[in-house]
Structure 1
Amino acid sequence: MKSLLRTLGYTHNMLPFYAKISLCSILVALTGIAMPYVISRATTLMVEVVEGNNIGVGQVLWLAALLLVFDVANVLIRNLGGYWGDVMSTKLKAQLSTHYYHHLLSLPQSYFDGELTGTIINRLNRAITEMSNFLNMFANNFLQMLLTSCITIGIVLTYSLELALLVLILYPLFIWLAVLTSKKWRYFQSNKNHEVDMASGRFAEVVSQIKVVKSYVRESLEYRHFTKRYRKTIAVTRKQSRYWHKMDVIRGLILSIVFFLIFAYIFVQTTEKKFTIGEMILLITLINNLRTPLFSMSFIVDGFQKAVSGSKDFIAAMELKPGIKDAPDAAHLNTEKATISFDDVSFRYASVPNRPVLHNISFTIPAGERVALVSESGGGKTTITNLLMRLYERDSGVISVNDTDIRNLTQRSLRGHIATVFQDPVLFSGTIRENIAYGKADATDKEIFAAAKAANADEFIRQLDYGYDTQIGEHGLKLSGGQKQRIAIARAVLKDAPILILDEATSNLDNKNEHLVQQALDRLMKGRTTLIIAHRLSTIAAVDTIITLKNGRVDEIGSPDELAKTNGIYAKLLELQKNPGVAGERLAAYDIAAEPKVDV
């Protein structure tokens, strides 16, 4: 319950909806209770007719008309309340979803490293949907149920204290029996949620990597894994539903016995002339009408349990704190030239704390220079760029831009001064124009076209049926690798940031596309402080400085010509490129895999 109330704290401007829905609930309850009075009065008149009294037809028709008025009013008001409830539910879902999304965007990269995308999405959908559905049902039904019950008990009390006590005992008895099932039910529900989350997470992962799945002919394996998860949910549901309905049968039987005692009491009191026929009909109708709100309480309890379970997941996610926060006095970086320095920087990932990735890394990149990071695979090159962008926080040491520790800069301004081009270009569904403009939201068409030309992309874009307005599909699946890479470069060109990170930007391209992309990269790097990670030595032949890393430490720093003569990592890679057979053993002795796929 506490988590559900805390969840409601993330909503706002809901009071008018609660008020309108509550008013409708009150009116629905009153019109519902008024009808038994009309029926009771009609019954009394019919008894008088049987006894020989002369009753006018107009009086009877008036009662029938009154029944119609109350019935129509009940229908109209109930649906008006339902409309407001639907709107309120949607607003709740929208507000909770946007809060959740905004919070996720603030979480560190490490959170997303440890979670499946589908799991994150499914958790959002399930938790928020169950909470909003419950609150809608609660707002539309609970107050009406409460008012109907209170007014009914009050009316019954005016006729008989004993009868009122029999009616009153129904509620604590039913609630106690419902709560009795709650703990075990939530345990089952938690297990189901886990299986569904894992299945959904894997589903989203497979869909995004469907080419790999098909190329390795693993469709049947993925299908088996998916169905296995849902078979588990079916097995849990059987246990959960069997338990719930067994308890519901017990509740129903106990309530049936209590209702039997109530009706038996009314019948006996009527035969003893303590109630008139009209009063008997009134009491039976009123009390019998309690069955619906009473049994709907089980649905409210069911919805409440789901909402509590969902709210716990929601609150757990919302309580995650951003691992990297701006300092209270963080400055806004504003520069056209950037000098980058790493001073004694060490780092290890939280997921593998016993395996440090970087040890006491120190180097400086003067503004406008191109620096290549060279190491064996897993040597820490990409980690260095991630630390520069503050996607992760270094364990020790100082990383600075223009002699200012990046911890003293706002993350937004720091990343705003860095453009990136990755090995696998990340494009979004939408148009080519939108993807290029992702680097600058207010870009004009002239700027977008100029960026595309600089990236050698304008020509192929204009040959497409819809040009810059061509829809490229999820991850840009309608484009070739070279085309996607050039659009990614155009995006970086348009951002016009003083710092550029190229992470294996040409490794997956054929010779023709590599040439086109390399031309675009050469234009992009001009005048920018650039960090380059590449597989191919040709990509880094023209850099100003090469930094080689070995076992997470800086091994050598120098120009390509200098390091070609030192007999170090770079020199051996050059030798391997010229004479793979001779250089292999020497590279192995240097703890570097003597294979063509060595990272550079």
Structure 2
Amino acid sequence: MRPLAKILAFTRELAPYYLAIVLAAVATAVLALATPFIIGRATDTVVDATTGAIAAGDAVTTVLWLAAAFLAVELAATLISSAGGYAGDVMSARMREILSNRYFTKLLALPQRYFDNELTGRIVSRLNRSITEVTGFAKAFSNSFFTMLIQTVAILAISALYAWPLALLLAIVFPIYLWLTALTSRRWQVIEGKKNHEIDAAGGRFTEVIAQIKVVKSFVQERRELRVFAERFAKTIGLTRDQSRHWHAMDALRRGVMAAIFFGIYAIIFVYTVQGRFSVGDMVLLIQLVTMARAPVTSMSYIVDSAQHAIAGSKDYFRVIERETPVPVRGTVELRTDVPAVEFDDVSFGYDDDADVLAGVSFAIEPGEKVAFVGESGGGKTTLINLLLGLYEVRSGTIRVMGHDVRDLSTSQLRAAIGVVFQEPNLFSGTIAENIGYADPDAPRAVIEAAAARANADGFISKFSRGYDSLIGERGLKLSGGQKQRISVARAIVKDPAILVLDEATSALDTRSERLVQSGLAALMADRTSLIIAHRLSTISSVDRIITLRDGRIDEMGAPADLAVSGGIYAELLALQNEGTTAAKKRLRGYGIEH
């Protein structure tokens, strides 16, 4: 039960709700205990009246008062139970809010490595399943457990007053039941963990397929994806069979033991009544108390079942929450403009336990300088950008931005200084204005429109019926590739970063769209430090310097005119472009260069 205790500690701010639920449960339990006494007293009164022990008129008056007491108890119990139920509903919603927000906060703080190794759908599935199971148990537990506890203790005490053998049998019911349940739960949780793995994997693939449904359909892979998806759930059927067989076999054993114990309890009540040691009213009272004692035992199966799901779910939840995250740098420092804007000093890096992607890379880019990076695909160009943004930590060496080691800068200050226009625009569902102003949600409309104009996006935006307030759909699916990229450029213009990164920003565009986007990029790069991973040599030729990479190391650095005659990678690319053969074009594409 430690994972559930961690959930309570994690949501300690809900203590007032927990207290309200407990008090309502206790009051409801106490009121429920009054009912058997009222009915028992009424039974004895009726028996006395029928035997002539008391006058009929007096008996009528007594039973009417007892009926009124029953009504009052029921009404009070209903009101208090409703108040407790309300507190339980709000508590459950607040718990979902807290757990969801903290999960999302943790995900946003996790390093990029975590997302490299996790499917998006699996992350989402884990959140939904874990929190649903935990909040469902918390609500059921808070509404039922304390009521059961109070009733059980009271029933034991009352039974002991009537007959100690009765109390003894009732006392052994719960420990036996809990012991048998503990034996059941160990194997159950192991199987539940395996089921959750399959469900999360299926959910992850489902999200991936929906996000790339065009690819699936274009390659006619619908049947294959359905088969893989169905196989995951088919495995859960087999696991559920094993789990259910085990659970219900043990549940049958539990119920059989309980039936034997309650046989002894009812036998005592009936024999003692026949012997005259209990009145008929006492018998009715005790039968009702025993029935109340049976209810917690039988309903405990549901609570234990919910607890098992919650424990399994909370383990997955805390497996994410307790992952180590980088210690954030607090505060800000003054970014200098009298030193290199970007500096790599003997930087080496590799992903996970793989070999180095970059080895001993050193260069410095001055403020306002435009530098292009050229190298074979997979040679480390994009990795340089990821390291600059602080998405990964270097294995060795130092990266400085405007005079400061990136490890000494807060991620917010570092990334505020750098604007990136990616190859894939990565827009969000919402309006055009919201996407352009993503870096500054409070940006005035005039700033957004001016940015769109500089990015050559205002022309097509004005053709939409709602202009800047037009919805673009998930990932901007209502826009063409060129339109999405111009929105992306406008977004970077609004951010107005000191350092600009262009990661093959026009590689996916047709010639006309590329010209429009290039025009916007030229406006964005004006008087700004720019790092360019380009896919056309025409773009590279206009930069101040070119840095070529070979096997994760710097091969050459220099002005385009100098490298054009050096015999290195850039000169080789120019020669391949002039050659124009199919083989030459293929070789160019190996460097991410389009002819």
Equivalent pair of 1:85/1:140 in contact (CA under 8 Å): yes
For 2:307, the equivalent position in structure 1 comes to 304
Equivalent pair of 1:4/1:312 in contact (CA under 8 Å): no
Q: Which moves more between the two structures, 529-538 or 543-552?
A: 529-538
For 1:599, the equivalent position in structure 2 comes to 592
2:183 is the alignment partner of 1:180: yes
Q: Which moves more between the two structures, 421-430 or 398-407?
A: 398-407
Tell me how far 1:327 sits from its aligned partner: 4.7
For 2:250, the equivalent position in structure 1 comes to 247
* Aligned residue among 340, 344, 348 for 2:342: 340
SS in 2 for 1:373: strand
For 1:99, the equivalent position in structure 2 comes to 102
For 1:35, the equivalent position in structure 2 comes to 35
Query: Which segments of 5 or more consecutive residues in structure 1 lack a partner in the other structure?
Result: 588-592
For 2:264, the equivalent position in structure 1 comes to 261
Identity of aligned residues (%): 49
Tell me how far 1:465 sits from its aligned partner: 1.2
For 2:200, the equivalent position in structure 1 comes to 197
For 1:132, the equivalent position in structure 2 comes to 135
Tell me how far 1:394 sits from its aligned partner: 0.8
* Aligned residue among 147, 151, 155 for 1:144: 147
Equivalent pair of 2:376/2:590 in contact (CA under 8 Å): no
For 2:22, the equivalent position in structure 1 comes to 22
Cα separation, 1, equivalents of 2:543 and 2:80:
75
2:446 is the alignment partner of 1:453: no
Tell me how far 1:287 sits from its aligned partner: 0.7
Structure 1 letter corresponding to 2:295: T
For 1:497, the equivalent position in structure 2 comes to 497
Structure 2 letter corresponding to 1:294: V
Cα separation, 2, equivalents of 1:381 and 1:76:
68
Equivalent pair of 1:42/1:63 in contact (CA under 8 Å): yes
For 2:551, the equivalent position in structure 1 comes to 551
Cα separation, 2, equivalents of 1:433 and 1:32:
60
Cα separation, 2, equivalents of 1:510 and 1:387:
30
Cα separation, 2, equivalents of 1:334 and 1:54:
102
Q: Which moves more between the two structures, 96-105 or 46-55?
A: 46-55
2:321 is the alignment partner of 1:318: yes
Cα separation, 1, equivalents of 2:560 and 2:134:
61
Equivalent pair of 1:333/1:409 in contact (CA under 8 Å): no
Cα separation, 2, equivalents of 1:404 and 1:177:
62
For 1:69, the equivalent position in structure 2 comes to 72
Equivalent pair of 1:456/1:486 in contact (CA under 8 Å): yes
SS in 1 for 2:523: helix
Query: Which segments of 5 or more consecutive residues in structure 2 lack a partner in the other structure?
Result: none
Cα separation, 2, equivalents of 1:164 and 1:153:
5
- C-alpha change, 1:246 and 1:332, in structure 2 (3 Å) is farther
Equivalent pair of 1:30/1:148 in contact (CA under 8 Å): yes
- C-alpha change, 1:334 and 1:301, in structure 2 (3 Å) is farther
Between the two proteins, the alignment pairs up a number of residues equal to 590
For 2:126, the equivalent position in structure 1 comes to 123
Structure 1 letter corresponding to 2:278: F
SS in 2 for 1:79: helix
Tell me how far 1:338 sits from its aligned partner: 6.0
2:123 is the alignment partner of 1:159: no
- C-alpha change, 1:298 and 1:333, in structure 2 (3 Å) is farther
Q: Structure 1, residues 74-117: CA drift from partner, whole Å, max 9, x if none?
A: 23322221111011011011001111111110110111000000
For 1:525, the equivalent position in structure 2 comes to 525
- C-alpha change, 1:338 and 1:489, in structure 2 (3 Å) is farther
2:425 is the alignment partner of 1:425: yes
Equivalent pair of 1:346/1:357 in contact (CA under 8 Å): yes
Q: Structure 1, residues 510-567: CA drift from partner, whole Å, max 9, x if none?
A: 1110000000000000111111112221222211111110000000111111111112
Equivalent pair of 2:348/2:395 in contact (CA under 8 Å): yes
Q: Which moves more between the two structures, 129-138 or 511-520?
A: 129-138
SS in 1 for 2:581: helix
2:48 is the alignment partner of 1:55: no
Cα separation, 2, equivalents of 1:221 and 1:468:
41
Tell me how far 1:405 sits from its aligned partner: 1.7
Equivalent pair of 1:576/1:582 in contact (CA under 8 Å): no
Tell me how far 1:193 sits from its aligned partner: 0.3
2:213 is the alignment partner of 1:210: yes
2:92 is the alignment partner of 1:89: yes
2:281 is the alignment partner of 1:278: yes
Cα separation, 2, equivalents of 1:158 and 1:131:
40
Cα separation, 2, equivalents of 1:441 and 1:329:
22
SS in 2 for 1:413: helix
Tell me how far 1:297 sits from its aligned partner: 1.1
Structure 1 letter corresponding to 2:513: N
Cα separation, 1, equivalents of 2:335 and 2:116:
28
SS in 2 for 1:262: helix
SS in 1 for 2:298: helix
Q: Structure 1, residues 403-436: CA drift from partner, whole Å, max 9, x if none?
A: 3222222221011000000111010011111101
Tell me how far 1:4 sits from its aligned partner: 2.2
Cα separation, 2, equivalents of 1:442 and 1:329:
22
Equivalent pair of 1:545/1:559 in contact (CA under 8 Å): yes
Structure 1 letter corresponding to 2:349: F
Cα separation, 2, equivalents of 1:260 and 1:582:
90
Tell me how far 1:7 sits from its aligned partner: 2.6
Cα separation, 2, equivalents of 1:367 and 1:66:
86
TM-score of the two chains, using structure 2 as the length reference = 0.96
Q: Which moves more between the two structures, 65-74 or 293-302?
A: 65-74
Q: Structure 1, residues 269-299: CA drift from partner, whole Å, max 9, x if none?
A: 1111111111111111111121111111111
Q: Which moves more between the two structures, 259-268 or 329-338?
A: 329-338
Equivalent pair of 2:421/2:488 in contact (CA under 8 Å): yes
Structure 2 letter corresponding to 1:107: L
Structure 2 letter corresponding to 1:564: A
Structure 2 letter corresponding to 1:54: A
Structure 2 letter corresponding to 1:313: D
TM-score of the two chains, using structure 1 as the length reference = 0.96
Structure 2 letter corresponding to 1:340: V
For 1:291, the equivalent position in structure 2 comes to 294
- C-alpha change, 1:100 and 1:241, in structure 2 (3 Å) is same
SS in 1 for 2:367: coil
SS in 2 for 1:532: strand
Cα separation, 2, equivalents of 1:451 and 1:403:
29
Cα separation, 2, equivalents of 1:247 and 1:401:
64
For 1:590, the equivalent position in structure 2 comes to none
2:161 is the alignment partner of 1:168: no
Tell me how far 1:245 sits from its aligned partner: 1.3
